[in-house]
Structure 1
């Protein structure tokens, strides 16, 4: 599956070579002409990669060809990276180097002339290898496709018939949808509208189509809707084809002599077809099911909606889709029906129905016990339950059941209609860059609580995010990609927290990520028999794993991480693995037990991100860490015994994100101020810190977090010190006086997001951001009882979240004045819940006008 990423790698290499910044760097290093020749070779082979990716599944020789190209591309990425490294090193020596540095460099292996000669030779070697392999492209009959316009792979057309007794655990969902269908259709002003659209949303295999069938065939629906139409949309939302499908579906119920024969419909023009359709539907109260909708083009949906709007009052449409964004676009009811997983009990009942002949399950109590464990891995997805149950039908040997129980889903044989192919439809539909990003989520264990900050660092270090621009940060791009994945139902328990988001993966979606990422990403545990050759990204999820040797084929690893809070790297692991992987881009040593880092860490010149978060033993870092000119992320938060941060931080000229915990009373502010790419700064648990940036200006900083710095007495919040600051997070600050209003109105920050935690009252200074503040998050303020009335003056506020404020008793009485407010989220605020509970709370009418309200205990 990893060969499906090759087009994306080629595209990123060519984009990098074409960028102005990289062309300037290549001129500085002296290899511009060599790289332009390489770009031509890359473009030649890239032209057929999309076609090759799609044809490789049934052609072993083609897969091997793609593997060769993949390995060459990896080498090309490493070579191109050296150009960046050398250009950045030159810049540091120019800006901060001493005469001794410059003389030493001339006599070292990084002498510009020697480096240029070696690099030019490596580039030419890469180009020759590409040209040799590319010469074979014609023998595979590959077509030239320049743009990745991913289309949904075909799935079988659905039909409306269902045997109701075969469906288990959907009674509640069925009644919910039927109640919505039977309700009068009201518009936003309380008036009647012709057509309501009810979306059913969920991942592949969850049973959306089955639920729609149950509703479609219910007697109450048949009695209420004289005209019922079932249309499987699937691959294409083509208006002409859809009109024909609707006409064909309606012709079973509507008798008209004016309708052309079914065999002639394709020969008619759209104008004739829409006339026929409108004639058939006019004045009819109908139910239309649009099953399996993938299209996100609102223009096409509105066009169809206009055509069917001639139906009688009370006509309804049911839409089944995997995409919440499609549901939001098409739906007209207050909310979409998000289909949940089956309960463990219902899952077992369904499994038994497919695994045994009727009534024979009582003979096999031992198999039922194993069956419970098998069902658990299905996580309530009916298609997975049915697939695994049917694979065991009439098999009564315990060994066979135990074997299936102990295998992961992705290692099981799969038929076309099994769970992995069903989920993979959504994956195949994604563009290449998004498929790569999704695959990287396999590096985290099941049920992992993801935080977008960490995902952004991983994707950024791997080169999966677009080249940085003035108006977009790495986190902005990561949030856009996560939003795209969310829109495809790949993420769940998604929670936006103002400055970041958290989410999880359904276990079966995680299985899909592992399946598509094999040979590129690998989770390593005590059950791992062998690490795949040439794997690039490794995640270690257990302590005590062998670390005394590393295979040569793994020395090209790009990422090493320890995602489990209970697991951390030892010094033995560091010496055996990390220091031998010279091409590392991402190194997460969170929760490690290392007392120090070796000086040689400075030789990992490709490194983009390093985390020592929550290392309680480390006291100092080697100054050589400041030789990592490519470093974009440095995380030292939670290092409670760190006595001082490294000297000469200013040399980290690419650093964008810095998180610090230190015993220092004064930070090296002059160094930090010279980090001209720094966008995000978090200062946490610095107990000795009394002041912060009183005399220092941070011209590029966009996000500032100050967490649990209990003795902090001053922090200037004005445009002189932070001209670009947009997001401020304050938590656990004992003295809130320094949050007072700025005296100079022209120097007031243009904050867009504020997150406040552990406060008794909200600071009055919030009022000065009334015209710019869009997001306000109040979290963990356990003593906060009331919100100030002036909160309603925040005229630009779009997102308001209160979480973990158990003593908060009310919202401002004039909250209706927040006319820009689109989202109100109340979580674990016990006293608010009863008052503002949707539909039933006494204060619900005060907030019912808000577009999205999420209120739960």
Structure 2
């Protein structure tokens, strides 16, 4: 049975990667006859161990202590620097090994030690002063441990064995029967204005279940029988008329050219495909307040036959009023305490028996009360507690200081922060990496596993397991904790609020191009970069990356991501080679 540190710091797993780098045979051989350099590396390891001992306490205290938060952020940057340097040393060690083996197999009368000395001295003269600077900087961090009140806390051990049965089906909902029936009746009713498509907006805060309600309605038998054609598209924050049109065409099984076809041509095909058909369209997660964009889209939909409907889900009541009439807006409320408990029971207990059930029920109802009727919060905290059957573990969650945070509408839900904080440290890094994907984007299982592997995130407990096996285990654990959603066998996504959480914990190290704006700040610390590609991306598009010398991920995400030859040659030849730490997604 595998064991993992519960709630281990985000950086804890990172430090283990550094220690593993320093323990390889090639690495050790490189320093065998370099006593001074070897002593410096030992000092580096001791300093890393010293700061690593208080990381769990620091991560807990950063919530309420700005000084600790800044200490962690600066330490994170320094650990990244150390990782880059050790990665260079490992590369040099492998080079020396290969070249030495080659020398030994030839007739050249050059000893291995002479060869290593002549070819590596310049490397060591450059790299070791940089290592020394890291060691000195770490001593500064160590000196701040006591003044900041950081302590070594006892790590808790948890079994990582997965439950024999999965969580309740994603379509299981509590407390939405009345909402569902009301929406369905609006869809099946006759239009008051025969020349116009009726829009039914579903409005509510993030995590309240707007998308889930729309899915329930969309798949209802009465709705399927009433409409001749249906289509679903996730609009999300980055409104793109071309992307939305293409996704609607795909849903409606209307053929088009994936590249080169103009927006006008695509929209004419969409309009023709909907003509004289009673359709139901779902525009999920709409953020765009531009009336002109909506007016242009609405014009394409007027050819549908009488009774056609559009469901819109949004957090913004102004968008709902712009797209639909006030009388058709459905405001989704928080679920009742009774329904919250029913939802919690299904996800926290399932069909399992627990000898402590009565005691857990008392604690569980207090925890549910703190979720304030928000379904996503209830489900996420239930997923966290599902694998914990001890009363003490539930009481720890109930008493956690994070519940006392004042939450603003755009803040991170305490229940979500708790689920993240209680992940094993190796899973924290994998979850944070998912911040590279924009909201509403599906990512494939093979893709995320390759990206995790390329960034060295899948080295945990590797004995007798393939990289694919480890990656699938990690995905499964994140899904069981309700931090990832798996709509099909090979695809994953994140709820918007979970996506916000991933971006929050990734901090300045992850950047999506569409989120950057003038005055946003330096990009020097960015390690993982994604962008939504155009049909041709100019050199100027990526100028902001000139400071990001330690970039590890450069990833196009979106409709043109599989295309080649669309990036400026100037960027490929002049800037891309400067990213020496760039991961390769094979």
What's the TM-score, normalizing by structure 2? 0.53
Q: Is the 8 A contact 1:5 1:432 kept in 2?
A: yes
Aligned mate of 2:88, from 82, 91, 101:
82
Secondary structure of 1:538 counterpart: strand
Matched with 2:179 is 169
Matched with 1:13 is 18
- Greater relative contact order (CA < 8 Å, ≥ 6 in sequence): 2
Q: Is the 8 A contact 2:100 2:116 kept in 1?
A: no
Is the counterpart of residue 562 in structure 1 residue 553 in structure 2?
A: no
Q: Is the 8 A contact 1:148 1:432 kept in 2?
A: no
Secondary structure of 2:488 counterpart: strand
Is the counterpart of residue 123 in structure 1 residue 116 in structure 2?
A: no
The structure-2 alpha-carbon separation of the partners of 1:39 and 1:206, relative to structure 1 and needing over 3 Å to count, comes to same
Q: Is the 8 A contact 1:149 1:431 kept in 2?
A: no
**1:680-703 per-position Cα deviation (integer Å, ceiling 9, x unaligned):** xxxxxxxxxxxxxxxxxxxxxxxx
Offset, 1:551: 5.9
Aligned mate of 1:56, from 35, 59, 62:
62
Offset, 1:457: 2.2
The structure-2 alpha-carbon separation of the partners of 1:445 and 1:28, relative to structure 1 and needing over 3 Å to count, comes to farther
CA distance in 1, matches of 2:70, 2:38: 32
CA distance in 2, matches of 1:115, 1:48: 34
Matched with 1:522 is 511
Secondary structure of 1:465 counterpart: coil
Q: Is the 8 A contact 2:85 2:127 kept in 1?
A: yes
Offset, 1:446: 3.0
Offset, 1:42: 0.7
Secondary structure of 1:458 counterpart: helix
Aligned mate of 2:469, from 464, 476, 482:
476
Matched with 2:297 is none
CA distance in 2, matches of 1:232, 1:460: 31
Is the counterpart of residue 429 in structure 1 residue 554 in structure 2?
A: no
Matched with 2:571 is 573
Q: How does 1:194-205 map to 2 (within 5 A)?
A: 205=208
**1:87-137 per-position Cα deviation (integer Å, ceiling 9, x unaligned):** 11122223457789989x989998223323443333222212111221111
Q: Is the 8 A contact 2:439 2:499 kept in 1?
A: yes
Q: Is the 8 A contact 2:527 2:553 kept in 1?
A: yes
Unaligned stretches of 5+ residues in structure 2: 1-7, 160-173, 183-205, 213-333, 366-380, 392-405
The structure-2 alpha-carbon separation of the partners of 1:292 and 1:446, relative to structure 1 and needing over 3 Å to count, comes to closer
**1:502-528 per-position Cα deviation (integer Å, ceiling 9, x unaligned):** 322333432332233231111113864
Q: Is the 8 A contact 2:57 2:152 kept in 1?
A: yes
What's the TM-score, normalizing by structure 1? 0.38
Q: Is the 8 A contact 1:16 1:22 kept in 2?
A: yes
CA distance in 2, matches of 1:548, 1:233: 46
The structure-2 alpha-carbon separation of the partners of 1:436 and 1:89, relative to structure 1 and needing over 3 Å to count, comes to same
CA distance in 2, matches of 1:245, 1:143: 31
Matched with 1:737 is none
Q: How does 1:642-653 map to 2 (within 5 A)?
A: none
Q: Is the 8 A contact 1:450 1:504 kept in 2?
A: yes
CA distance in 1, matches of 2:571, 2:68: 38
Matched with 1:91 is 97
Q: Is the 8 A contact 1:5 1:436 kept in 2?
A: yes
Matched with 1:34 is 40
Matched with 1:540 is 531
Q: Is the 8 A contact 2:32 2:38 kept in 1?
A: yes
Secondary structure of 1:210 counterpart: coil
Secondary structure of 1:137 counterpart: coil
Secondary structure of 2:71 counterpart: helix
Q: Is the 8 A contact 2:57 2:150 kept in 1?
A: yes
Secondary structure of 1:442 counterpart: helix
Q: Is the 8 A contact 1:29 1:87 kept in 2?
A: no
The structure-2 alpha-carbon separation of the partners of 1:551 and 1:495, relative to structure 1 and needing over 3 Å to count, comes to closer
Residue-pair matches, total? 376
RMSD: 4.8
CA distance in 2, matches of 1:63, 1:418: 17
Offset, 1:211: 6.9
Q: Which has the larger radius of gyration?
A: 1
**1:321-377 per-position Cα deviation (integer Å, ceiling 9, x unaligned):** xxxxxxxxxxxxxxxxxxxxxxxxxxxxxxxxxxxxxxxxxxxxxxxxxxxxxxxxx
CA distance in 2, matches of 1:101, 1:62: 57
Q: Is the 8 A contact 1:414 1:420 kept in 2?
A: yes
